[in-house]
Amino acid sequence: MKLGRAALGLLLLAPLAVRAVEPISLGLALAGVLTTYISYPRLYCLFAECCSPKRSLSREALQKDLDSKLFGQHLAKKVILNAVFGFISNPKPKKPLTLSLHGWTGTGKNFVSKIIAENIYKGGLNSDYVHLFVATLHFPHISNITLYKDQLQSWIRGNVSACARSIFIFDEMDKMHAGLIDAIKPYLDYYDNLDGVSYQKAIFIFLSNAGAERITDVALDFWRSGKQREEIELKDMEHALSVSAFNNKNSGFWHSSLIDRNLIDYFVPFLPLEYKHLKMCIRVEMQSRGYKVDEDIVSRVAEEMTFFPKEERVFSDKGCKTVFTKLDYYYDD
C-alpha cells in the first residue's frame, strides 16, 4: 500500500541509532512518526501520490508532450491544450470537463488520454485517481445493463468522494450499449453537488470511432482541393461529429442525453494519418527504445503499412497503432 511505502521512506530517514532503542520505546517513536506523517498532508505527499483539487498544471509541459508525441493532429492539440489547462486553472468550474475524442484506430485518442493523465498525476494511467473503462471488457452483456448502470454510478460517486479531481476514461464508446452512459448524466450536469458530493472538478474523457467517416471525408476533400490539412478548422466538423454520434445506433451515444443536453464540452476530431506522420511515429518509437534513428528502416516500416482510398493511398488505415510491432521485426534479437 502507498501508506506503507511512504512510512517506510520516513523510517529510512531516521538515525541508525534507533537500533539501540528498546522495543517499547521504538514502538512509541514509530507511532509518533506515523501520527506526524498522517497529520501533515504535504509531508505525506513527498512519499505518496496525493489528490489535490487545487493541483496545478504546467501549460508548457502539456504543450511539449503534445508537440513531441502527437502527430498530424493540429485540431486535437489546440483543443486539448486550451480545454485542459483552462479547466485545471479554474478554481471554481461550473461543471466537470467532458471531452469526446473521435477518429479511426491509431490516430492518437488513447495516447492523448494518457498524456492528460500523466500531466495531472505522476502515476498517469496507473494513478489511483485515474479510472479506465473499456466497453467490451467492463460492460460486455446487454442483459446486465441495469446492473452496469448501478455499478457505474456507485464507482464514480465513490471515487469522486475520495478525490474530487478524479479522471474517468471511457474507451470504445462506439461499442458501448446504448443508454448505459446516460447513467452518469447527473454527474456531468451543472450541479453544485449531488447528495453532498461535488463533481465539478472531475474530468470525463470518451474515446470513440464514431464519426470517423465524416472526419475522413472532410480531410480527403481538403486534400483533393490542394489545401493543407492544417487549414481544417474545428467548425468544419465538430457539429457533424455530435450529430453523427447521436444518430449512430451502434454508438454508446445513440440518442444520449449527454449530447441532447449539451453536456459534452468538446467533440475533438482526430484526422487520419498520412505517410509522413507514420514516419514521425516510427522515429519517436526508435528513440524511446534507445535506438539510433535509421531512416532506411523508418521508410521500410512506413511503406509496409496499408493506405486508403485504394487509388490515391493518402491515409493510413491503422494509423500508428501497428508500426511498433512492425518495428520489432527489424530489431528482433
- In our burial notation (b when 16+ CB lie closer than 10 A, e otherwise), range 244-273 reads bbbebeebbbbebbbbeeebbbbbbbbbbb
Read off φ and ψ for residue 285, nearest 5 degrees.
-65, -40
Supply 39's cell numbers. Answer: 497529520
**Res 282: pLDDT:** 95
The answer to whether 198 touches 164, Cβ cutoff 8 Å, is: yes
Write down the domain spans for the chain: 59-270, 275-331
Class of residue 109 by CB neighbours under 10 A (exposed 0-12, middle 13-18, buried 19+): buried
pLDDT digits (tens, 9 = 90+) for 227-280: 999 999 999 998 889 998 999 888 899 999 999 999 999 999 999 999 999 999
CATH numeric code, 59-270 = 3.40.50.300
Task: Tell which residue, 107, 315, 303, has the closest CA to residue 222.
Answer: 315
pLDDT digits (tens, 9 = 90+) for 38-54: 555 566 676 678 897 55
Residue 37 to residue 33: CA distance in whole angstroms: 6
The answer to whether 79 touches 234, Cβ cutoff 8 Å, is: yes
CA 332 to chain centre: 31
Residue 317 to residue 319: CA distance in whole angstroms: 6
pLDDT digits (tens, 9 = 90+) for 285-329: 999 999 999 999 999 999 999 999 999 999 999 999 888 888 888
Count of Cβ atoms closer than 10 Å to residue 201 Cβ: 23
Torsion angle, CA of 130/134/138/143, rounded to 10 degrees?
Answer: 140
Residue 200 to residue 94: CA distance in whole angstroms: 6
229 contacts: CB under 8 Å, gap ≥ 6: 72, 74, 219, 222, 223, 271, 274
By mean pLDDT, which of 23-32, 72-81, 176-185, 294-303 is the weakest? 23-32
pLDDT over threshold 90, residue 6: no
The annotation places the binding site at 103-110
**Res 29: pLDDT:** 58
The annotation places the binding site for ATP at 103-110
Read off φ and ψ for residue 196, nearest 5 degrees.
85, 0
**319 to 21, 157, 262, 265, 316: CA distances (angstroms):** 63, 36, 30, 26, 5
Supply 331's cell numbers. Answer: 530489431
pLDDT over threshold 70, residue 13: no
pLDDT digits (tens, 9 = 90+) for 201-227: 999 999 999 999 999 999 999 999 999
**Res 155: pLDDT:** 97
pLDDT over threshold 70, residue 33: no
pLDDT digits (tens, 9 = 90+) for 222-241: 999 999 999 999 999 988 89
pLDDT over threshold 50, residue 20: no
**Res 102: pLDDT:** 97
pLDDT digits (tens, 9 = 90+) for 116-157: 999 999 999 999 999 999 999 999 999 999 999 999 999 999
Supply 22's cell numbers. Answer: 528498546
What DSSP character marks residue 269?
A: E
> What does pLDDT average to over the chain?
88
**Res 330: pLDDT:** 83
**Res 328: pLDDT:** 84
